[in-house]
Structures are given as structure tokens and as C-alpha cells.
Amino acid sequence: MFTGIIEGMGSITAIRSVGQARRLAITADYALEGTRVGDSIAVSGACLTAVMISGKRFEADVSPETIDRTTFGTARAGERVNLERALRFSDRLDGHLVSGHIDGIGIIKAIGTKANATILTIGADASLSRYMIEKGSVAVDGISLTINRCTTDWFEVSIIPHTWLATTLRLKRIGAAVNIETDMIGKYVERFFSGRKTEKTAPAKRSETVDDDYISKKGYL
């Protein structure tokens, strides 16, 4: 579990194909003190497991499912990434609960400014936008952001100067792809109510009367 508050950036230094999967080598800009093999690290929002650590460098395997749902399918050596190590229960939750399970890819449609904020308009298909609401939360490349406005095919977020400078968003251009994780609470609520709807529409079983005929059919007479 993560918060969407980026610890720092890093660079992909090598990509190796392993069948349909990949192994990424990433060098962080900061020390990974206390991080051990087996720990989770969100790389541009995607939860990956460190399988090798040496100083600021670590390696992580990327499954075919993650490749299909994220920008890692087109990643190249030298690419900059956002990094966040897993949340500890003793930490403050400054962003929002982020699972690190990417739902899909969005495309930056417009970049503007308003006062001190950078405004990003990001295209997202209906499978993503259905879980978005104004003033709700969304993770973009692992960054916890608040949705200003949204429609069925795009949403808008404001980036404060600190976040703009401390993350990879400042390196993005119009047309760039970004990883999107929608608010998990919305997905659970939808699943809960869709399950209840199924229960209500399922035909009720006809109850049987316990009488002499019933007892006889069951072999008790």
C-alpha cells in the first residue's frame, strides 16, 4: 500500500526481456536505506517487488499483466520514473490510499497554467472515468492528485509547484502516456452494489411445504 506522495525520482538503467515478462534495473536519486529484497516499491505508480538491491540501484520483475496495463510496455533505458516505498502503519497518510495496481493508461491532452498551478487535462476511457468524481482522488504515475473536473473521456488535475518540480510530470509533453490508478473505494462500492443487484434479480427459490407428501418423497414414510 502507498500514499501517492513521491519520495523521489530515479532512472531506468536497463531493461531485460524474460519471456513475455521484463526485468527493470532502476537507480534511485536517493539512498534506499532500510529497503530489503522482497520489499514493494511503486515505480511510476506500479507496485513492483525488489529482487535485487545494491546501494541506490534495485531490480524488479514486471509481469505480462503489468506490461499490458502500464507504460512499461514502451519504456526505454534512461527514462525517468517516480519512486515511493511502501507505506508503514506508523506513517502519516498525506495523500490517499494507493494500491499500486494500475487500472490503465491515460494520455495528456493539454498542459496549461492558472496562477501558480500547472493544469493537466488527461484523456481516459470510460473504464477509468466511471470511477472518477470532482474533488475525488486519482493517482497519475503514482502521484496522489485531486480531480478538478471530469467527463466520460477526460479529467483535469492541478499540480502545485513542489509536485511539478519533484516528479516526472514536468518532463511530460502533450501526447505522453501516464499510468492511472482510480480510487479503490469507488471500485469496491460498485462491486458491492452490483452484487446486491444480482441478488435482487435472481429468481427466488420456491419453498416446499412439509406435509405427508413431502415426507413420503423423502423416504420417511
CA 46 to chain centre: 6
**C-alpha cell, 100:** 499500486
Total number of residues shown for the chain: 221
Give dist(CA 56, CA 26) in Å, integer. Answer: 8
Residue-by-residue pLDDT tens, the chain, 221 positions: 898 899 999 999 999 999 999 999 999 999 999 999 999 999 999 999 999 999 999 999 999 999 999 999 999 999 999 999 998 766 666 767 889 999 999 999 999 999 999 999 999 999 999 999 999 999 999 999 999 999 999 999 999 999 999 999 999 999 999 999 998 888 888 888 887 655 555 555 555 554 556 545 655 55
Q: Return the number of other C-beta atoms located less than 10 Å from residue 56's C-beta.
A: 16
Give dist(CA 10, CA 173) in Å, integer. Answer: 19
Q: Is 112 exposed, middle or buried (0-12, 13-18, 19+ CB in 10 A)?
A: exposed
In CATH terms, is domain 8-85 a member of 3.30.43.10?
no
**C-alpha cell, 38:** 522482497
Query: Could you give the C-alpha distances from 195 to 75, 127, 190, 198, in angstroms and in order?
Result: 38, 18, 8, 5
In the chain, residues under CATH classification 2.40.30.20 are 8-85, 104-192
136 HSE (CA, 13 A, CB side): 17
Beta strands 104-114 and 21-28, pairing class:
unpaired
pLDDT the model gives residue 98: 87
pLDDT the model gives residue 90: 64
Query: Could you give the C-alpha distances from 46 to 50, 54, 101, in angstroms and in order?
Result: 12, 21, 6
Cell 435472481 -> residue: 202
Cell 490508478 -> residue: 181
**C-alpha cell, 45:** 505508480
Query: What CATH number does domain 104-192 carry, 2.40.30.20, 3.20.20.220, 3.40.50.2300, 3.10.20.30?
Result: 2.40.30.20
Q: Would you say the pTM of this structure is higher than 0.75?
A: yes
